[in-house]
């Protein structure tokens, strides 16, 4: 038995930490550093110290499940309800415009040498799905640093970004479900509907049962709560993928929402942070970087990357700016909202990774997606 995997994990953890600290010095999110670490260690620059392996892929998949589970635990359903019409309308426009602009861009490039086996329509719309999600974490941190989080624009951006992610995940669910072989659209839609019914039933049954158990045990055996939560996360991720044909990350996100509504939600969320940030998250983002091969980037792919970055910013600026304007915001506030929603991050990478695994994202276009995410993560906070 080879123990090289221990060395590989150690290399990933130390390199992601070093690059994360470097990017942090330049006021960039550490996610960018983890991506750069994967690019440097992999075939992108010809170093080839590491290559994607089955073990790393499985750890990365577990990592993305934990990331989305934590994202669900960090999402307040009460805040979503309080956001009202402005947050929802801004988010809706901020999903629809990038979805169709991204699909239109892909329509002109997903042909010839860049064509990929499968349904070109679904592949084109999948590019749009990647552009839908705003990075809540980067956006919130930027607003907090400049003291704008508790303003009218800040509250609107925060609410819209959360709803935006949920709508983006629903779009991902529909596209990935339709990508199956011999798909009946009505059966797919029925499965998605049943999945949301399943979430509601689990929520109704699990929350009072868990709260009753927690009240009965009080301060005894606190370590059991994260274990119960993790089991729920894994089961819902499995059932989402295998039974309902929905992406596993949607099940994990829903499990996080359910746990967040319980009496021990905050305690459980804090217990998951060390495993997420110190181990699984670095492996997930580094593994994405390991899959990029820059030498394969032709002039067509470079042009696509440039246009994708422009579309990523403009689509949010137009969609969210229009939504804000319709909700009574001034021109300046609408512009600030549009730029504030343009940041992409971990969710876009998660969606792209899922799409490539399912054959919805051509391998040749994976590099431009990473470039888009890095550019948006770096330049949007500045804007």
Highest mean pLDDT among 96-110, 142-156, 367-381: 96-110
Distance CA 251, CA 244 (A): 10
The arithmetic mean of pLDDT across residues 13-21, rounded, is: 90
pLDDT level of residue 184 (50, 70, 90 thresholds): low
DSSP annotation of 27: T
Counting residues of the chain whose pLDDT is more than 70, the rounded percentage is 85
DSSP annotation of 261: T
Alpha helix positions (H), the chain = 4-25, 30-41, 54-73, 77-109, 120-132, 136-145, 152-178, 185-217, 224-242, 248-260, 265-275, 281-290, 299-326, 331-340, 346-357, 366-379
pLDDT surpassing 90 at residue 109: no
Contact between residue 142 and residue 381 where contact means Cβ atoms under 8 Å apart: yes
Counting residues of the chain whose pLDDT is more than 90, the rounded percentage is 17
Buried b (16+ CB within 10 A) or exposed e, 90-101: bbbbbbbbbbeb
Residue 181 pLDDT = 53
The arithmetic mean of pLDDT across residues 12-25, rounded, is: 88
The arithmetic mean of pLDDT across residues 163-184, rounded, is: 72
pLDDT surpassing 60 at residue 383: no
Domains of the chain and CATH, by start: 4-60 (no CATH), 63-379 (1.20.1530.20)
pLDDT surpassing 60 at residue 149: no
- Least confident segment among 64-73, 129-138, 259-268: 129-138
Residue 161 pLDDT = 76
Residue 8 pLDDT = 87
Distance CA 274, CA 114 (A): 41
Residue 98 pLDDT = 92
pLDDT level of residue 140 (50, 70, 90 thresholds): low
Contact between residue 247 and residue 270 where contact means Cβ atoms under 8 Å apart: no
Residue 183 pLDDT = 58
- Least confident segment among 80-94, 224-238, 240-254: 80-94
Distance CA 313, CA 321 (A): 11
CA 267, 270, 271, 272 torsion-angle sign: positive
pLDDT level of residue 333 (50, 70, 90 thresholds): confident
Distance CA 354, CA 360 (A): 8
pLDDT surpassing 90 at residue 97: yes
pLDDT level of residue 273 (50, 70, 90 thresholds): confident
Distance CA 353, CA 250 (A): 14
pTM over 0.75: no
Distance CA 199, CA 179 (A): 23
- Least confident segment among 26-35, 112-121, 271-280, 287-296: 112-121
Tens-place pLDDT, residues 279-307: 888 888 888 778 776 656 678 888 888 99
The arithmetic mean of pLDDT across residues 161-190, rounded, is: 73
pLDDT surpassing 90 at residue 236: yes
The arithmetic mean of pLDDT across residues 312-316, rounded, is: 92
The arithmetic mean of pLDDT across residues 235-257, rounded, is: 86
Residue 204 pLDDT = 95
């Amino acid at each position: 038995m080879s123990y090289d995997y221990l060395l590989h994990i150690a290399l990933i953890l130390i390199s992601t930490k070093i690059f994360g600290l470097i990017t942090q010095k330049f006021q960039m999110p550490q996610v960018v550093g983890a991506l750069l670490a994967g690019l440097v260690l992999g075939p992108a620059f010809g170093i080839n110290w590491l290559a994607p392996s089955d073990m790393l892929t499985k750890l990365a998949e577990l990592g993305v499940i934990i990331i989305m589970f934590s994202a669900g635990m960090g999402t307040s359903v009460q805040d979503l309800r309080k956001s009202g019409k402005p947050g929802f309308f801004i988010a809706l426009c901020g999903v629809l415009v990038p979805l169709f602009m991204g699909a239109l861009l892909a329509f002109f490039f997903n042909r010839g040498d860049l064509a990929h086996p499968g349904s070109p329509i679904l592949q084109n719309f999948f590019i749009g799905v990647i552009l839908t999600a705003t990075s809540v974490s980067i956006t919130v941190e930027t607003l907090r640093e400049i003291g704008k989080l508790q303003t009218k624009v800040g509250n609107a951006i925060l609410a819209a970004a959360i709803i935006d992610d949920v709508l983006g995940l629903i779009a991902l669910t529909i596209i990935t479900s339709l990508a199956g072989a011999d798909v009946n659209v009505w059966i797919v839609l029925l499965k998605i509907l049943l999945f949301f019914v399943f979430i509601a039933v689990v929520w109704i049954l699990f929350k009072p049962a868990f709260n009753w158990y927690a009240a009965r045990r009080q301060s005894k055996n606190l370590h059991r709560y994260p274990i119960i939560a993790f089991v729920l996360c894994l089961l819902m991720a499995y059932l989402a993928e295998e039974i309902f044909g929905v992406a596993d990350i949607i099940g994990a996100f829903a499990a996080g929402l359910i746990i967040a509504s319980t009496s021990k939600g905050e305690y459980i969320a804090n217990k998951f942070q060390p495993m997420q940030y110190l181990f699984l998250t670095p492996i997930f983002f580094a593994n994405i970087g390991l899959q990029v091969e820059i030498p394969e980037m032709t002039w067509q792919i470079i042009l696509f990357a440039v246009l994708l970055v422009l579309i990523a910013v403009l689509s949010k600026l137009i969609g969210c700016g229009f939504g804000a304007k319709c909700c009574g915001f001034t021109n300046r506030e609408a512009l600030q909202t549009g730029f504030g929603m343009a940041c992409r991050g971990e969710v876009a990478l998660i969606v792209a990774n899922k799409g490539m695994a399912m054959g919805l994202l051509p391998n040749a276009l994976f590099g431009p997606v990473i470039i888009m995410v890095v550019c948006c993560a770096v330049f949007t906070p500045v804007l």
